[in-house]
Amino acid sequence: MDNQEENQVEPSGPGVDESVGQAEEPMAPAEPDTPEAAGERRGFIKFFCAFIGTFISVVPFGAGIWAYLDPLAKREGGVGDGFIKVTTLDAIPTDGTPAKFAVVADKVDAWNRFTNVSIGAVYLRLVDGVPKALHTICPHLGCFVDYRQGKNDFFCPCHNSNFKLDGSLAKGVSPRAMDVLQIEVRNKTEVWVKFQNFQPGHSHAVSIS
């Protein structure tokens, strides 16, 4: 059997063990500490171990959490005035029905920087010859809103929100109308849209930055 078990001392419970204060010294003719000195020493060790133990355990977590919070420290500034050329006037249906257009721009994705990739889409439609732009993302919880040809309206397939052609809510759970994007016609035919994303779920459109 285990020979250690023979010389094992019975634990006498915290605070009662009067021998440990002297554990560094050869045990033979040792002067035991006064109870107060032993208590003080033990108190110090307790404090030291708890403090240092916590500190060194927190370091790796601290480094990790610091790095994890990185996204909060980053603000990606837009380029120029934020308007992106989407298409030309001629590409938008003349009968007033909406058409979907991809928004193509440069995109930074962590370590990658892509040029000319799709970053989203917009619905464009002519109202008396003037183009109007709606975001394709549902203001409820961010699904892609469909255009329904037969009913000539917008319909979000996720929670059945229903929008009119001008984007206003017909019925459903969405807290607000579809998001309207600023639009400009430049050089007579170019259609430029100020493309931005909005926080879903609120009754007012708040830009995500």
Partner 1 sequence: MKSLLDWIDHRTGIRSLTREALFENIPGGSRWRYVWGSTLTFTIFIQFVTGVFLWMGYSASSGDAWESVNYIQNEMTGGWLLRGIHHWTAQLMPVLLLLHLMQVVIDGAYKAPREVNYWFGVLLLLLVLALSLTGYLLPWDQKGFWATRVATNLMNLVPFVGPEMQKLVVGGTEYGHHTLTRFFALHAGVLPGLLVLLIVGHIYLFRRHGITPAEPVIKRDAYFWPDQVFKDTVACLAVMVAVLAVVISVPGAHLGSPADPSEPFSAARPDWYFLFLFQFLKLPFFAGDKEVWGAIYIPGIAVGFICLMPFIGRWKLGHVFNIGIIFVFLGGAGALTYLAKQEDVAGPNSAMYLRGVLGDTRDARRVTALAKARGIESTALSLLKDDPKTQGARLFAQHCASCHRYDGHDGLAVELASAVTLDELENRIGIMTRFFSGDAVHPDWLARKSGTQNPWQTVQSILDAETDGKFDVIASIELQEKQSAPDLKGFATEQWISDLLDPHQYISSRYFGGTTHKDGDMYKKFLNRKVSKYDAEQRNMLESIAVALSAQAKLPGQAVTDQVDAERIRKGIQYLEDDIGCIDCHAFGEPDPDADGPDLTGYGSRQWIVDFVKNPEHEKFYPDNNDRMPAFGVKKILTDKEIGLIADWLRGDYFKLPVDAQGH
Contacting positions for partner 1 (CB under 8 A)? 2, 4-5, 7-9, 11, 14, 17, 19-20, 22-27, 42, 45-46, 48-49, 52-53, 55-57, 59-61, 63-70, 73, 108, 110-115
Closest CB 168 distance from ligand FES, rounded Å:
15
Q: Nearer Cβ to partner 1, position 29 or 129?
A: 29
Backbone angles phi, psi at 207, to 5 degrees: -65, 140
What SS3 state is found at 186?
A: strand
The closest alpha carbon to 205, from 154, 125, 138, 146, belongs to: 138
Q: How far apart are CA 194 and CA 173, in angstroms?
A: 27
Please choose, out of 11-19, 21-29, 93-101, 141-149, the segment that lies near ligand FES by the rule CB under 6 A. 141-149
Burial class (CB in 10 A: 0-12, 13-18, 19+), 104: middle
Q: Which residues contact 116 (CB under 8 A, 6 or more apart)?
A: 104, 105, 106
Q: Is 140 in the site for ligand FES (CB under 6 A)?
A: yes
For the beta carbon of residue 23, count every other beta carbon within 10 angstroms: 9
Q: How far apart are CA 25 and CA 19, in angstroms?
A: 10
Closest CB 154 distance from ligand FES, rounded Å:
10
The binder of 52, among ligand FES, partner 1, none, by C-beta within 5 to 8 A per type, is partner 1
Contact 136, 152 (CB under 8 A): no
Q: Nearer Cβ to ligand FES, position 87 or 136?
A: 136
Q: Nearer Cβ to ligand FES, position 160 or 189?
A: 160
The binder of 208, among partner 1, ligand FES, none, by C-beta within 5 to 8 A per type, is none
Q: Is 161 in the site for ligand FES (CB under 6 A)?
A: yes
The binder of 95, among partner 1, ligand FES, none, by C-beta within 5 to 8 A per type, is none
Q: Nearer Cβ to partner 1, position 53 or 157?
A: 53
Q: Which residues contact 195 (CB under 8 A, 6 or more apart)?
A: 82, 83, 84, 86, 103, 105, 119, 120, 122, 181
The binder of 127, among ligand FES, partner 1, none, by C-beta within 5 to 8 A per type, is none
Contacts with ligand FES, residue ranges (CB under 6 A)? 138, 140-143, 156, 158-159, 161, 172-174
